Amino acid sequence: MTVRVPEHERLSLGNGVALILVPLRDVPLVAFSAVVRGGGLGDPSSRPGVASLAAGLLEKGAGERNAYAFADVVEGAGGSFGAGAGPEAISVRGQFLARDQQLMLELLADALLRPLLEEEELEDLAGRHVELIKAAKDSDPSELIGTYGRAFLFGSHPYGRPVFGSETSLAAIDRDDVRRYYEGQFGAERLILVLAGDIDAHLLARMAADSFSRWPRAPALPPGLARPRGTSGRRVLLVDSPGSAQTYFWIGNVGVDKRYPRRAALDLVNTLFGGRFTSLLNTELRIKSGLSYGARSSFSRGSVPGEFSLRSFAQTENTGKALELALRTLDRLRRDGVSPEMLDSARAYTLGQYPLGLETAADWAAMLAEIEQYGLGKGYIDDYPAQLAAVGVAEAQAVIEEAFPAADSVAIVAIGDARRIRGAVGEYGPVTQMSLTDPEFSDGWTPGDENRP
Amino acid sequence: MTGALRPAREAIRAATLANGLRVIVWPVRNIPNVALYNWVRAGSRNETPGATGLAHFFEHMMFNGTSRHPPGAFDRLMEAEGGANNAFTSDDVTVYQDWFPASALGHVLDLEADRVAHLAFTPEVIESERGVVASERRLRVEDNSHGLLAEQVQAAAFVAHPYRFPTIGWPADIRSWRLEDLQAFYRTYYAPNNLTLTLAGDVDPEHAIALARRFFEPIPAQAPPPPVRAVEPEQLCERRVLIRRKAQTPLLHCAYKAPRAADPRAPAVSLLLCALVEGDASRLHRALVEDRQVAIEVGGHWQEGFDPGLLWLSLTLPEGADPEEARAALDAELAAVAADGITEAELERARNLATVGLWKKLAAIDGKAQLLGEYEVFHGDWSRLFDEPARIAEVSTAEVRALAGEILDERRRTLGVLQPCAE
């Protein structure tokens, strides 16, 4: 038995809405995943966070319901409803009992087509988002390290912007920004809507057509995206957190995009390098040395190449040792490649694990939306086992050269006690220093910003 | 709804091996995988002063080699068979989780039995793993405002019961465990009669039980672990903890003494907590985050254990806020709930959220294996899981009001404040 894309129906409404219906009857739940293309790309470059606030406001009053009434009806039915912005799309997801599927679609249509976007709700939400960033700095600074990393690596390229917003930008955003965003970046041909689970497909298709088929198109295409240029040579961003017991670090460079043809080989090599417990990275930083609780690597792939990054942390006095070990391990991958035995193990692991992410209606709603968004086709899932089976050492080597950076060509971010680690991190390149309490994720000027226009 | 679950309930098989090990198997054929949970009845509740964190340290040591397999082999073999694993430790239990393709069932059970029977204690490996745990502690406690405050609140909330120990262990204890401590803990708690295996996935239950028998039955039973005899005395007055830490956001934690998991009022406790903090329409989110804006986030959880534990409410405050003002606002809300309970609409909302929450877990093999174990270990019988929808439906506003009046009593709480300071 292997996992295959379930039977589903794909409809295209006359105005460009893509509607996908996936009946799955394991449990009496229904799930939706709505993707509105654009996301952070539609943000004014000086005010990141508008898309994120627009997403947050979708459920803060829509149609005939104000924010309280909307939450009352969602949660009163036991449902969930949440929206967030990514670099290239806003995603809205939720789950309800099957008996409430019509209500679910009605709420979604209100949120997407008739959001109130009220001034007072915006102020409250933006204010709360500012405070949530500060709270994250106090309780889990590693949660924010990717945001610092992308800002440092991508510079002025849109992938460098903090999609959630920064403390400064969130404070500056007003209702006109959000209104302008909604008017410019929402519209029929931007929408992919997947309804999955214990659904009455016939009924929902009719309801969705009634609700969405008169929605106008957005006035323009989603903003275009240039291929980002990676960093050459090493540079370091030091984010000072005085008294920090550990240093949290991130090492990255530009990787590959969503349609990268060697995706199966990429998954296998990353599994071996930093994607599972016995990976090269975790073996060095945790299992053999006891320096860290963990080390991992991943690729973020969009319509253009996003970042490859590895991340870990170690006690303040071991900062240099841990950074050195991480870079040496990256160097070893580039130098030695992977063996056929390693590939076999990674293949078994990947084949054994990927079905676990494709089990529920909510899993399939999200996956089918992603397939539609990037034009991946159902072969993205159905052909995956055969693609994994075909990966050999030569293709793995090609992936290592194409997607993994050389250890001497990376951007490095370290969050830690600058007074105690500046010397150690300075060994790895010119240092830009800022404070963890600064209200931005970069100091505004990045040396070596290859993406400045 | 109960109707939809009946065929599943009838397909589940359970067995007790000759050495006392319990095995429960739920066959599910939607993906070609299996989720396995091994529940060990050992948590920080079973520890003593000077050796706190031992249960959690075992969560790490159980991956570090046996007399048959060298350190690291467990994960290497598991991953090469397509399996992944993890583990967690609480005040009450240590739980080992494996997710793997059905074809690997025999290998995984063999590996799990091997580490229960033949764990090796290599001094160099123990030293290295101390470093890993210290790093985990820095991540979760020392560099984490919420973690730091919660640890102090828990330590203040109990005077006699070992629930006062942090599960990860006090730093000096992490540095000083001896080999003998580890060996004694292993012998006592990692005995088949102290374990429960729950499996869900693409397996034939009789076959899975036969395999469990083959690999686990040769392991001899041990004397039952000593019971935890400590009983926390009645708390007589509110206790307060104040931490000053370099930070931006103040925090407020409020921990009330609450019933144990097996208490017959358990569904009402869960629904009360849900009404208070789950979702934007919850009582405390709406009052404190939306209306009065004294907090930016409200959370809560019930430490549902073998013994009476805590019902936590935690508030994250905006920079510069006065924790005393937030406390007064919180107290006003809680006083109203203690006096009047919640409305029928609030209860209905909580019931529906709990029901959907249950179905979300039941939608995946991981959730099924987890739920089987929780009901077997904490409620004494896995099949009580299937009574849960009816128990949720039966909770009344009168029951919630009585419970709220009992739990939300200022004299039986511990209040923690984290106040930011410059250095």
Q: Is pLDDT at A448 greater than 60 in this prediction?
A: no
What pLDDT digit, counting tens, does each position of A99-157 carry?
A: 999 999 999 999 999 999 999 999 999 999 999 999 999 998 889 999 999 999 999 99
Whether residues A36 and A143 fall in one domain: yes
User: How much is the pLDDT for A1?
Assistant: 65
What pLDDT digit, counting tens, does each position of B41-67 carry?
A: 999 999 999 999 999 999 999 999 999
Q: Is A386 domain-assigned? A: yes
Q: Is A228 domain-assigned? A: no
Question: Does A132 contact B80 at a Cβ distance shorter than 8 Å?
Answer: no
Whether residues A156 and A244 fall in one domain: no
Question: Does B100 contact A352 at a Cβ distance shorter than 8 Å?
Answer: yes
Q: Is pLDDT at B382 greater than 70 in this prediction?
A: yes
Mean pLDDT (whole number) for B207-215: 98
Question: Does B363 contact A27 at a Cβ distance shorter than 8 Å?
Answer: yes
Mutate one of B249, B351, B358, B366 to test the A interface: name it (highest A CB count within 10 A).
Answer: B249
User: How much is the pLDDT for B286?
Assistant: 98
The dihedral through the CA atoms of A375, A378, A380, A383 has a sign that is: negative
User: How much is the pLDDT for B4?
Assistant: 63
- Global ipTM: 0.95
Q: Find the domain containing A163 and state its range.
A: 9-212
Mean pLDDT (whole number) for B78-107: 97
User: How far apart (Å, rounded) are the C-alpha atoms in residues A280 and A285?
Assistant: 9
C-alpha closest to that of A159 among A170, A147, A171, A167: A147
Q: Is A364 domain-assigned? A: yes
Mean pLDDT (whole number) for A253-258: 98
Mean residue pLDDT across chain B: 96
Whether residues A251 and A388 fall in one domain: yes
Question: Does B296 contact A135 at a Cβ distance shorter than 8 Å?
Answer: yes
**Is residue B74 classed as helix, strand or coil in its secondary structure?**
helix
Q: Is pLDDT at B177 greater than 90 in this prediction?
A: no
Mutate one of A2, A30, A73, A139 to test the B interface: name it (highest B CB count within 10 A).
Answer: A139
Helices and strands (DSSP H and E) totals, chain A: 17, 14
Whether residues A274 and A206 fall in one domain: no
Whether residues A254 and A157 fall in one domain: no
pTM over 0.90: yes
The dihedral through the CA atoms of A450, A151, A256, A374 has a sign that is: negative
Q: Is A431 domain-assigned? A: yes
CB pairs under 8 A between A and B: 202
C-alpha angle with apex B422: B420 to B423, nearest 5 degrees? 105
Mean residue pLDDT across chain A: 96
User: How much is the pLDDT for B1?
Assistant: 45
Which residue among B10, B47, B59, B376 is the active-site one? B59
Q: Give whole-number Cα distances, A204 to A28, A149, A394, B51, in Å.
A: 16, 42, 48, 59
Q: What percent of chain A has pLDDT over 70?
A: 98
What CATH number should be reported for the domain holding residue A370? 3.30.830.10
Domains parsed from chain B with CATH numbers: 2-216 (3.30.830.10), 239-421 (3.30.830.10)
Number of domains in chain A: 2
Q: Is pLDDT at B87 greater than 70 in this prediction?
A: yes
Whether residues A241 and A184 fall in one domain: no
Q: Is A2 domain-assigned? A: no
Q: Is A447 domain-assigned? A: no
Q: Is B324 a catalytic residue?
A: no
Q: Is pLDDT at A2 greater than 90 in this prediction?
A: no
Contact A49, A43 (CB under 8 A): yes
pLDDT band for position A444 (cuts 50, 70, 90): low
User: DSSP string spanning A370-421?
Assistant: HHHHHT--THHHHTHHHHHHH--HHHHHHHHHHHSPPTTS-EEEEEE-HHHH
User: DSSP string spanning B29-67?
Assistant: -SSSEEEEEEEES-SGGG--TT-TTHHHHHHHHTTS-BS
Residue with tokens 């690291």: B72
Measure the N-to-C terminal CA separation of chain B; round to a whole number of Å: 56
C-alpha closest to that of B44 among B146, B164, B197, B187: B164
Does A173 reach chain B within 8 Å, measured CB to CB?
no
Whether residues A44 and A145 fall in one domain: yes
Whether residues A65 and A143 fall in one domain: yes
Question: Does A290 contact B131 at a Cβ distance shorter than 8 Å?
Answer: yes
What pLDDT digit, counting tens, does each position of B246-258 carry?
A: 999 999 999 999 9
Closest-CA distance, A431 to chain B, in angstroms, reads: 24
Mean pLDDT (whole number) for A327-352: 98
A131 contacts in B (CB within 8 Å)?
249, 296, 316, 318-319
Question: Does A356 contact B99 at a Cβ distance shorter than 8 Å?
Answer: yes
Whether residues A396 and A328 fall in one domain: yes
User: How far apart (Å, rounded) are the C-alpha atoms in residues B50 and B167?
Assistant: 13
Whether residues A151 and A252 fall in one domain: no
Whether residues A24 and A156 fall in one domain: yes
Whether residues A143 and A247 fall in one domain: no
Q: What percent of chain B has pLDDT over 70?
A: 99
Closest-CA distance, A134 to chain B, in angstroms, reads: 6
Q: Is A91 domain-assigned? A: yes
